[in-house]
Amino acid sequence: MSVMNTYPPHWKQIAFRIKSDAEWKCIRCGHANDRQSGHVLTVHHLDGDKANCRWSNLVALCQRCHLSIQGRVVMKQVWPLEHSDWFKPYAAAWYAMKYLGQRLTREAVMERIDELLALERIA
């Protein structure tokens, strides 16, 4: 089994924390976790690597949003347009790593978000 298809042994706890941090709502559409309406909350790995469980790679999304962005959001892709508000912290963290070699906390990213988002336009 390849690394990209392997969840870590403590995946359930990680996913629970990500969903809890999002207050059990999809960070893209804001819908609460609700099986009856089809808005079951999931955790998406933005880079596709299930072993990469850094905050900047894990997004709480309802199944509908998860399916919508899964094929369209490619972290290695250059983004010429402005990012959606929900995606900005994740993109900024990606750019910090890509251009500066820095793995930042969410707090550090939020403090420097405009600077980090500008890195993609400069490059």
Sorted by sequence, the CB contacts under 8 Å of residue 110 that are 6+ apart come out as 89
Q: What is the DSSP letter of 23?
A: T
Rg of the chain over CA atoms, in angstroms?
15
Beta-ladder partners of 123: none
Mean pLDDT, residues 5-30 taken together: 95
Pairwise pLDDT comparison (38 vs 100), residue with the higher score: 100
Buried b (16+ CB within 10 A) or exposed e, 55-70: bbbbbbbbebbbeebe
Measured torsion, CA atoms of residues 49, 104, 106, 72, in degrees rounded to the nearest 10: -40
Which domains, from first to last, does the chain contain? Answer: 1-75 (3.40.1800), 78-123 (no CATH)
Residue 50's SS3 state is coil
* Global pTM value: 0.87
The CA distance from 63 to 76, in Å, is 23
Q: What is the pLDDT of residues 19-63, one digit of tens each?
A: 999 999 999 999 999 999 889 999 999 999 999 999 999 999 999
Say if CB 73 and CB 87 are below 8 A apart: yes
Q: What is the DSSP letter of 42?
A: E
